[in-house]
């Protein structure tokens, strides 16, 4: 079978210079630079197979652009018109869709839907599906909302972070270091029907319907050195309750020890009554976490464990049963408790 002769490519100097600029330009589109390199190599007499190997493309791709350039010149290197129906809506409609999606929806709605945007732009005669295609092309999702939190303007934010982390990484010799907080409004719920144990190929099943039996709250103090935790049920989360909890801790700790505690900025912790109690007990030293940074409080790690292992899928026929299980878990936790391995040194975190 006779081999097909490659189409010959001839270049004028002006055209060659333009193709060379395109091929070496950092601003040119990748496909434009590739096509320019193919044509330049073809004009230099290289075989299609060699060009394909050098450019990392197929031989058919080299043949295509070689033939199109030989037939129509530089115009042949442009993309051909795409098949299918031409666009019905011009750029002004796309701009209107984007402008609508990025503005507040009409009262009382809180988010836009594709159908609502299409109805808002009824004079443009655009469908909800076309709105969806336009927004998808721009990766714009007005129906999705992600929460974020504005950090308060606290000049000593990183100083507080560093202070707490230094206490974890190098606690004062001979001092007791406690991480203290409350976990409130824990729901005591029992399922209306019993669940089913897991089976091969099937997870455990739990009934959705439940009965409410009230809520419970606890105050907890985590010993940072040992990982042991002391919990106490509380009825109200106020400064009077918190002071009683501190008083109980003060009676159980050897008075010869200095006591360092980590607290967040909850109202019970910053109340006048609490500050007066702390001022009257000079051996107690408070290390405040910055606003909106309760994750620095190690007792939150214990609360997370408690939620995963007891609360999330638990069945509690009464408030007393809930409190009993919380206390039992704390006692068992303390028999094998180990301190949490803290590695964060308090340096500013890099943005994701």
- 271-276 — which CB contacts under 8 Å span 24+ positions? 271/238, 271/239, 271/242, 272/239, 273/239, 273/240, 273/243, 274/239, 274/242, 274/243, 274/246
127 and 236 together in one domain: no
The answer to whether the beta carbons of residues 164 and 287 sit under 8 Å apart is: yes
In this predicted structure, what is the pLDDT of residue 81?
A: 78
CA distance 230 to 239: 19
Is 63 in the same domain as 23?
A: yes
Residue in the block written with tokens 């732009």: 121
CATH of the domain at 183: 3.30.420.10
Q: Judge whether 326 and 231 are in contact, CB under 8 Å.
A: yes
Do residue 174 and residue 262 come from a single domain?
yes
Q: Is the pTM of this model over 0.75?
A: no
Whether the upstream peptide bond of residue 108 has omega within 30° of 0, thus cis, is yes
- Which pLDDT does position 312 carry in this prediction? 93
The Cα–Cα gap between 287 and 264 comes to 9
Which residue is listed with tokens 């990748």?
30
Same domain, 299 and 256: yes
Query: For the chain, how many structural domains are there in total?
Result: 3
How far apart (Å, rounded) are the C-alpha atoms in residues 109 and 153? Answer: 32
User: pLDDT value at position 67?
Assistant: 92
Cross-strand pairs, 41: none
Verify that 312 and 215 share a domain, yes or no.
yes
Task: Give the Cα separation of 264 and 304 in Å (integer).
Answer: 17
In this structure, the answer to whether residues 166 and 311 fall within a common structural domain is yes
Nearest to 220 by CA among 162, 291, 301, 290: 301
Asked if residue 216 lies in contact with residue 237, where contact means CB atoms within 8 angstroms, the answer is no
Q: Does residue 263 sit in the same domain as residue 232?
A: yes
Per-residue pLDDT of the chain (352 residues; tens, 9 = 90+): 455 678 888 889 999 999 999 999 888 889 999 999 999 999 988 999 999 999 999 999 999 999 999 888 888 888 887 787 777 788 899 999 999 999 999 889 899 999 999 999 988 889 999 999 999 988 999 888 888 877 776 788 899 999 999 999 999 999 999 999 999 999 999 999 988 999 999 999 998 999 999 999 999 999 999 999 999 999 999 999 999 999 999 999 999 999 999 999 999 999 999 999 999 999 999 999 999 888 999 999 999 999 999 999 999 999 999 999 999 999 999 999 999 999 999 888 765 4
In a domain, 85, yes or no: no
- So what's the pLDDT on residue 316? 95
Q: Which domain holds residue 111?
A: 91-137
Does residue 234 sit in helix, strand or coil?
strand
Q: Is residue 152 part of a domain?
A: no
């Amino acid at each position: 079978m006779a081999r097909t002769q490659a189409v010959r490519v001839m270049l004028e100097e002006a055209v060659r210079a333009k193709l060379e600029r395109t091929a070496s330009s950092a601003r040119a589109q990748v496909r434009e630079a590739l096509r320019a390199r193919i044509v330049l190599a073809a004009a230099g007499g290289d075989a299609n197979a060699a060009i394909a190997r050098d450019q990392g493309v197929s031989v058919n791709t080299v043949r295509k652009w070689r033939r199109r350039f030989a037939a129509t010149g530089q115009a042949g290197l442009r993309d051909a018109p795409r098949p299918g129906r031409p666009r019905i809506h011009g750029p002004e409609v796309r701009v209107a869709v984007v402008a609508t999606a990025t503005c507040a929806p009409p009262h009382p709605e809180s988010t836009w839907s594709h159908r609502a945007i299409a109805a808002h732009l009824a004079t443009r005669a655009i469908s909800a599906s076309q709105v969806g295609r336009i927004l998808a092309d721009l990766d714009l999702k007005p129906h999705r909302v992600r929460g974020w939190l504005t950090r308060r303007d606290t000049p000593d934010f990183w100083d507080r972070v560093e202070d707490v982390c230094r206490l974890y990484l190098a606690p004062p010799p001979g001092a007791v270091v406690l991480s203290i907080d409350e976990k409130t409004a824990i729901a005591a719920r029992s399922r209306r029907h019993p669940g089913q144990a897991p089976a091969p190929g099937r997870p455990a099943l739990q009934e959705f319907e439940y009965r409410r039996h009230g809520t419970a709250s606890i105050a907890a103090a985590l010993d940072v050195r040992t990982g042991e935790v002391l919990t106490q049920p509380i009825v109200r989360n106020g400064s009077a309750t918190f002071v009683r909890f501190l008083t109980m801790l003060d009676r159980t700790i050897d008075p010869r020890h200095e006591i360092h505690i980590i607290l967040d900025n909850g109202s019970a912790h910053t109340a006048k009554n609490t500050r007066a109690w702390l001022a009257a007990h000079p051996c107690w030293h408070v290390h405040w976490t910055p606003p909106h940074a309760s994750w620095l409080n190690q007792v939150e790690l214990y609360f997370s464990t408690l939620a995963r292992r007891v609360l999330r899928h638990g069945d509690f026929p009464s408030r007393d049963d809930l409190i009993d299980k919380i206390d039992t878990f704390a006692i068992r936790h303390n028999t094998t408790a180990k301190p949490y391995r803290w590695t964060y040194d308090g340096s500013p975190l890099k943005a994701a």
